[in-house]
Amino acid sequence: MARTVRNDETPVEDVDEPRLTVSGAARRLGIAPATLRTWDRRYGIGPTGHARGRHRRYSADDMARLEVMQRALMQGAAPAEAARYARTVALPLREAAVKIDAALTDGTATVAEAPAPLRMAPVEVGPPTPVVRRVRGGGGATLRMPGADARARGLGRAALAMDSTAVQRLVEEAIAADGLVATWDDVARPVLAAVGERWATTGRGVEVEHLLSQCLVAVFVRVAAGFVDAPAAPHPVRPVLLAAMPTELHVVPLAVLAAVLAERGVGCWSLGAALPADALAAAVRRTAPAAVVLWSQLPSTADLGVVTGLPVTRPRYRTFVAGPGWDGVALPAGVGLLGSLVDAGDRIAGAVLR
């Protein structure tokens, strides 16, 4: 709606400021629309003057605040801290965005060294968290993984370049040099965590995570297949079923576990991601496994009903759960919680090969 304002006592006609839709704002920032909705819902960084039931529309000032938050996130600030800063920054917003770029993205200053008005609140002390650092002149970002070794850094560069051939070659070389467990713990997992953090904080890079995950699964499956010709166990061994929970999509750790068990002479049948509970029960009845391992990456996918609903068979099998989704869950008697890869390999092999 037009409104009349005075400028040197001369009436002039002013029009409403153009506003961007969620999809338009997301394109401007280079992030997913879902990320914008999350910032609005969870952290209060959304369009001003938004009325319930109406479409979100972002003004120029709204966009400036989003840019401030995005830049802070890319320097490693926690989302809540970045949002609080973007909401309360005293500088004119566009000036703040420019100063953040100048102070933090040219490689000459860190967050702690930035001018006082731009300094983030301290992040909670804990294990180093992979963060993203802008690269001057590079047009993109690189993963910064404090404490990571040269192999992990090389894998990160290959993943960001979307070079699947290089990714697989680097992982294979690491396995040949250092073994399965060390490759997962010291090379693959840090890069996966850094890529996941990049996506969570910037809304970018999910394609990198998908490519890296597919490459890792391919390599560890090939490695597991290479142990097929290894000397057989003294007695026939029933297989171990590996499956993700019905709504769980992350299965790279299951491929790694399958390779670790194959190296120990334990055969595994991997049933993949998001296996429905009735399909899991049917597989248990048809294969008479020695053990069943159910993977959950997130608490929301750790469904005890699936565990307790597994069928009873003859001969019996051992049931294990694995993954951070099960942390703190009270498990039924007889269900084992697997920890590290070494722990998982030892316990499953001990139960199957005895």
Helices 60-74/79-88 angle, 10° precision: 140
What are the pLDDT digits (tens) for 205-242?
A: 888 989 999 999 999 999 988 876 544 444 456 889 99
Nearest to 294 by CA among 227, 226, 247, 232: 247
Indicate the CATH number for domain 13-122: 1.10.1660.10
User: End-to-end CA distance of the chain, in Å?
Assistant: 79
What are the pLDDT digits (tens) for 105-161?
A: 444 444 333 333 333 322 222 333 333 333 333 334 568 788 888 899 899 999 998
The token pair that represents 333 in the structure block: 């008697």
Q: What are phi and psi of 89, to 5 degrees?
A: -55, 135
CA of 283: how far to CAs of 38, 244, 256, 295, in Å? Answer: 38, 13, 21, 16
Distance of CA 289 to the CA centre of its chain: 31
* Side chain identity at residue 13, one-letter code: E
The token pair that represents 309 in the structure block: 């609903």
Say yes or no: do domains 13-122 and 148-225 share a fold.
Answer: no
At residue 236, the pLDDT reads: 52
* Peptide bond just before 33 cis, omega within 30 deg: no
The token pair that represents 20 in the structure block: 């961007």
In the chain, where the domains are located: 13-122, 148-225, 232-353
Residue 212: CB atoms within 10 Å: 26
At residue 108, the pLDDT reads: 45
CA–CA gap between residue 227 and residue 215 (Å, rounded): 19
Domain 232-353, CATH 3.40.50.300 — does that match? no
What are the pLDDT digits (tens) for 172-202?
A: 999 999 999 999 999 999 999 888 888 777 7
Nearest to 183 by CA among 192, 174, 173: 174
CA–CA gap between residue 62 and residue 81 (Å, rounded): 18
* Side chain identity at residue 180, one-letter code: L
- Give the DSSP per-residue string, 114-171: S-GGGPPPPPPPSS---EEEE-TTTSSEEEE-TT--HHHHHHHHHHHTT-HHHHHHHH
CA–CA gap between residue 159 and residue 191 (Å, rounded): 9
What are the pLDDT digits (tens) for 239-284?
A: 899 999 998 888 899 999 999 999 888 888 899 888 899 999 999 9
CA–CA gap between residue 82 and residue 163 (Å, rounded): 32
What are the pLDDT digits (tens) for 57-114?
A: 888 888 888 888 777 665 556 677 778 878 776 444 444 444 444 444 444 444 333 3
Burial of 124 from C-beta contacts in 10 A (0-12 / 13-18 / 19+): exposed
CA–CA gap between residue 330 and residue 206 (Å, rounded): 33
Nearest to 271 by CA among 255, 285, 260: 255
The answer for 208, left when phi > 0, alpha when psi is -120 to 50, beta otherwise, is alpha
Question: Confidence class of residue 39 from pLDDT cuts 50, 70 and 90?
Answer: confident
pTM of the complete model: 0.60
At residue 93, the pLDDT reads: 45
The CATH homologous superfamily for domain 148-225 is Methionine synthase domain (1.10.1240.10)
